[in-house]
Copies of this chain bind each other. A is one copy, B any other.
Amino acid sequence: MSDQIKRVVLAYSGGLDTSVILKWLQINYRCEVVTFTADLGQGEELEPARAKALNAGVKPEHIFIDDVREEFVRDYVFPMMRANALYEGLYLLGTSIARPLIAKRQIEIAQQVGADAVAHGATGKGNDQVRFELSYYALQPDIKVIAPWREWDLTSRTRLIEWAEQHQIMVPKDKRGEAPFSTDANMLHTSSEGKVLEDPWEEVPDYVYSRTVNPEDAPDTPEYITVDFERGDGVALNDRKMSPATLLEALNELGRKHGIGRLDLVENRFVGMKSRGMYETPGGAIYHLAHRGIEQLTLDRGAAHLKDELMPRYAELIYNGFWFSPEREMLQAAIDHSQEKVTGTVRLKLYKGNVIVVGRKSPYSLYSEKVVTFEDDAGAYDQRDAAGFIKLNALRLRLLGRRDR
């Protein structure tokens, strides 16, 4: 708590924890707090955050509540989806991808209001602190960063609540006890971890799920949909053009209804430990497979395989918080270069947790009647060519076999 801080931009949800942080910053740093509340589609009312911030003494002009949903989906979720990114083979990176955007807006606001610091409410054991702070530093190298959870002594829930009450912060009744797990939500996903989820042998209890129905309770009749893509990004659902956020929202609703996108995962955090989380990514799960579906038709093998090989690294960079890094941008440049003709329509069947690609078509298909004709007529494919192809591919193996077998 050494450095003199004058004004700090806090990532503020309006909830108990960040309300405590707001007050704690005012007291401990004797500094002015500016609040930033982002509407990332987490599905909560944000206006109450304004009243609470005002109440805590934040100046009206220092309360920022922004709807960043379109920016989130257009500039973060979709670019990531172009890569078919999955962390550790399974996780759609829903939390990871929101952090850089929040951090970027905090830095923009800091520059706008002349703040010298930023603060966040992520704990000291998780990945989010890293994602926030790497983004802050990349975008404004000399910014001061305050991470209250690494600094203060409010290490138990009881102490936090005591402190809140001592400082006239309203504690909602349902926050009095220990929460059975903690969550993060945005338009792409909801994650849950901790407490009841900590034993990786125990099945995730049903009440933890909030974004999707249980597949067993989903409709007994499948639903067919189409998703249109242009240059690698989704643009329409069932032939209706939609903005990025509108599309994702509509897919979320479909996913919720059909019990799609649940994931129970033990993952490796960047800070070195394993954790167990439960993720719900209803629309994202549909979108991911739809994107793969349209790529199957429109991407050349060389491009597709290179993408598959680069993907784990790309996903790791996002997971670890390196969105604003040269290497992520280089990989993005390569990926984006491949998407120019990733245009067309994918037909999917949704049924009780299943997302099944059942059809794809494209004006830029590399698989088409025309191609089939090409193959037969113009002699583009002469079966005898296969003999030479195999012979030369085998040559080095034969030389080896001569030597070794």
A175 contacts B by Cβ under 8 Å: no
How many angstroms from the CA of A307 to the CA of B330 in the assembled complex? Answer: 9
For chain A, residues 199 to 234, give those with C-beta under 8 angstroms from any C-beta of chain B: 200-204, 215-216, 220, 222
How many angstroms from the CA of A275 to the CA of B404 in the assembled complex? Answer: 20
Q: How many copies does the complex hold?
A: 4
Residues of chain B contacted by A330 (CB below 8 angstroms): 303, 306-307, 334-335, 337-338
Closest to A268 in B: B301
How many angstroms from the CA of A220 to the CA of B66 in the assembled complex? Answer: 45
Q: Which of A26-34, A57-65, A235-243, A386-394 contacts B (4 or more CB under 8 A)?
A: A386-394
Number of interface residues of A (CB under 8 A): 124
B125/A381 in contact, CB under 8 A: yes
Can you list, as one digit per residue, whether each of A296-328 has a CB less than 8 Å from chain B (1) or not (0)?
110111111111110111001000001011110
Q: Which of A42-50, A131-139, A247-255 contacts B (4 or more CB under 8 A)?
A: A131-139
Can you list, as one digit per residue, whether each of A180-208 has a CB less than 8 Å from chain B (1) or not (0)?
00000000000000000010111110000
Candidates B275, B293, B306; contact of A327 at CB < 8 Å = B306
A residues with CB within 8 A of B: 84, 88-90, 123-125, 129-130, 133-134, 137-142, 147, 149-150, 198, 200-204, 215-216, 220, 222, 262, 264-268, 271-276, 292-293, 296-297, 299-309, 311-313, 316, 322, 324-327, 329-331, 333-338, 341, 347, 349, 351-354, 356-361, 364-367, 370-372, 374-375, 378, 380-405
Add 6 more A-B contacts to A88-B296, A273-B381 (CB < 8 A): A88-B305, A139-B405, A150-B384, A325-B397, A333-B337, A389-B392
